[in-house]
Structure 1
Amino acid sequence: MESIPNKEYSYNGTKSPIFTVFSNEPLLSTKDKLFTLETLQKSLDLKEIMENFASLVASFIRPFNIRFQSAFGFFSLSKSLPSNFTRNFNLDSADHSPRLGTMTYQSETPITATEDKLLAELHQLLQPTLKHALRFSELSSMVYKDHLTNIGNRAYYEETIFHAIEQSNRTNLGLSLMVLDINKFKPINDTYGHTKGDQVLNAFAQVLTKSIRTSDFVFRLGGDEFVVILQPSAPCSVSKVQQRILQEIDKNSLLKELDFSASYGFSHWEIGTTASQLFDQADQHLYQNKALDRAQR
């Protein structure tokens, strides 16, 4: 049995603490725990798990603005509540491995002792699923990452373009695809060696990453071929990104030293266009631009 100071009352002009007495018995019933575990184990996707967890917190306690942060994932859910009070919980792994992350709750009023105890119980139920989800996220990032440039690879591109087309079907926000390759990349490898060629690929990946918005994606499909997904996209989006790419190339000392250039093609998604068709249109435009560039030299 434990006593936790909760609030004060006034008696004969003297303030004295009222103690709320809690049993060491859990506040969640066995039925509540089973329901919580079933809800949390529906998915290994971090976002879905945290959305489900936020719903459980709102059901058992009350709604909060919730944020979770770790080395392998981030989640934020705002209920547009006043954030007068903040409470942080460090979520530790049961097997003493590195900390899973930090959960932050924001609310208009302070978290009471009862709510604090309920959150602790919910965290205990969350931790096993969360640990697996974070590990899955870590492994997924390895599967979807180009290990030379640390940007997305072909597998990640294929999954992302599929979801981007689905989203455009629902929202009609616009979607554009850019396909790029490096001009005269083989002579760079032949003249300076493959180590220099790898440095060029890395530098160009950084250029592309710096040239896009946070809502956009950049990928290396293989060799010197890169792809950029722009979403949302307007008719002027591609030209804006192209200008930023040229500016970033000019700022890069390695690329400037090699008189680096790249060609690009683009396509704009329309209703009924498949991912394969969208890529083919951009790829065809790329080779038209390369042919035009050769003819002008």
Structure 2
Amino acid sequence: MESIPNKEYSYAGTKSPLFTVFSSEPLLSTKDKLLTLETLQKSLDLKEMMENFASLVASFIRPFNIRFQSAFGFFSLSKSQQSNFTRNFNLDSAGLSPRLGTMTYQSATPFTTTEDKLLSELHQLLQPSLKHALKFSELNSMVYKDYLTNIGNRAYYDETIFHAIEQSNRTNLGLSLMVLDINKFKPINDTYGHSKGDQVLNAFAQVLTKSIRTSDFVFRLGGDEFVIILQPSTPCSIAKVQQRIKQEIEKNSLLKELNFSASFGFSHWEIGTSAAQLFDQADQHLYQNKALARAHR
């Protein structure tokens, strides 16, 4: 037996005495554990698994605002606007593997010692499935990353723009596409070598990543062609991103040294516009801008 000081313990509507006495026996029954394992093993998709886990927490304990963060995945679910109390759990995998991540619960009322113990038991059941889901996320991220710049690749762009258009159809939040390419990139390769060219591509990818919001996405489609998806987007969103990109280029010593510049084209999604049409509109705008720039030299 273990005695735990707990002056404000309340569970299932019953207040505890000054000390709550806990047995070393688990609180979850064998049936509960089997149900939990069956539910968590339904999918390797991290989001779906964590949604299932949040439902289990709500049924066994009560609903919480839940956030999970790791190197290969992030999940957040809000059940209440009030979050006066926070409880963090570090989820460790067995053996010498690194920590799986951090689980954070938020609540309008204090966490009880019984709830802490139940959460710990649920985490023990979650960890094996979570480890596989995170490995699956890691492998997926490798498939969707550009090998050189570590940003999204063409496959990831194709999938993301499809979902972005679907979301705009439902929410009408606004969607814009920017297409960018590097001016006089071939002379950089010819003059300084392909190694320097790779450095320029990496530097420009970093510039773009620093210039967008967390809701936006940046991709390298190949060569020196890049794309940014802005969502949500307003008519002034493009101008703001362009200004940030120019500022970040000025801050980058490598790009400034090479007198680097890039050309932009953009399009705004409208109902009925396909992904291919949206890209073609932005691409045509890009070449119009490049032609105007050449005419003014």
Work out whether the TM-score is over 0.5: yes
| Match of residue 43 from structure 2 | 43
**Alignment-mate amino acid for residue 70 of structure 1:** S
Q: Give 1:157 shift.
A: 0.8
Give the Cα–Cα distance (whole angstroms) in 1 for the partners of residues 209 and 244 of structure 2.
10
Q: Give 1:168 shift.
A: 0.3
Instruction: Go from structure 1 to structure 2 and tell me whether the alpha carbon gap of 1:176 and 1:20 turns closer, same or farther (over 3 Å shift).
Output: same
Give the Cα–Cα distance (whole angstroms) in 2 for the partners of residues 115 and 260 of structure 1.
57
- Equivalences for 1:1-297 in 2 at 5 Å? 2-5=1-4, 7=6, 17-22=18-23, 24=25, 26-80=26-80, 82-297=82-297
Q: Give 1:23 shift.
A: 5.5
Give the Cα–Cα distance (whole angstroms) in 1 for the partners of residues 227 and 46 of structure 2.
26
Q: Give 1:230 shift.
A: 0.7
Q: Give 1:272 shift.
A: 1.2
Instruction: Say which one has the larger Rg.
Output: 1
Deviations 1:260-289 (A, max 9, x none): 111121111111111111111111221222
Contact 1:81–1:107 under 8 Å retained in 2: no
Give the Cα–Cα distance (whole angstroms) in 2 for the partners of residues 103 and 3 of structure 1.
25
Any idea what SS the aligned residue of 2:200 has? Answer: helix
Q: Give 1:7 shift.
A: 4.5
Question: Mind listing any 5+ residue stretches in structure 2 that lack a counterpart?
Answer: 9-16
Give the Cα–Cα distance (whole angstroms) in 1 for the partners of residues 68 and 7 of structure 2.
33
| Match of residue 13 from structure 1 | none
Give the Cα–Cα distance (whole angstroms) in 2 for the partners of residues 264 and 61 of structure 1.
52
Deviations 1:162-215 (A, max 9, x none): 111111011001101111111111011001111111111111112211221121
Instruction: Go from structure 1 to structure 2 and tell me whether the alpha carbon gap of 1:7 and 1:194 turns closer, same or farther (over 3 Å shift).
Output: closer
Question: Mind listing any 5+ residue stretches in structure 1 that lack a counterpart?
Answer: 10-15
Contact 2:6–2:113 under 8 Å retained in 1: no
Instruction: Go from structure 1 to structure 2 and tell me whether the alpha carbon gap of 1:19 and 1:218 turns closer, same or farther (over 3 Å shift).
Output: closer
Instruction: Go from structure 1 to structure 2 and tell me whether the alpha carbon gap of 1:18 and 1:275 turns closer, same or farther (over 3 Å shift).
Output: same
Contact 1:5–1:17 under 8 Å retained in 2: no
Deviations 1:25-61 (A, max 9, x none): x332333223222322232222222222112111111
Count of paired positions: 289
Contact 1:268–1:278 under 8 Å retained in 2: yes
Instruction: Go from structure 1 to structure 2 and tell me whether the alpha carbon gap of 1:243 and 1:18 turns closer, same or farther (over 3 Å shift).
Output: closer
Give the Cα–Cα distance (whole angstroms) in 2 for the partners of residues 195 and 21 of structure 1.
64
Any idea what SS the aligned residue of 2:202 has? Answer: helix
Alignment RMSD (CA, Å): 2.2
The TM-score, its normalising length taken from structure 1, stands at 0.89
Aligned-residue identity in percent:
85
Q: Give 1:116 shift.
A: 2.5
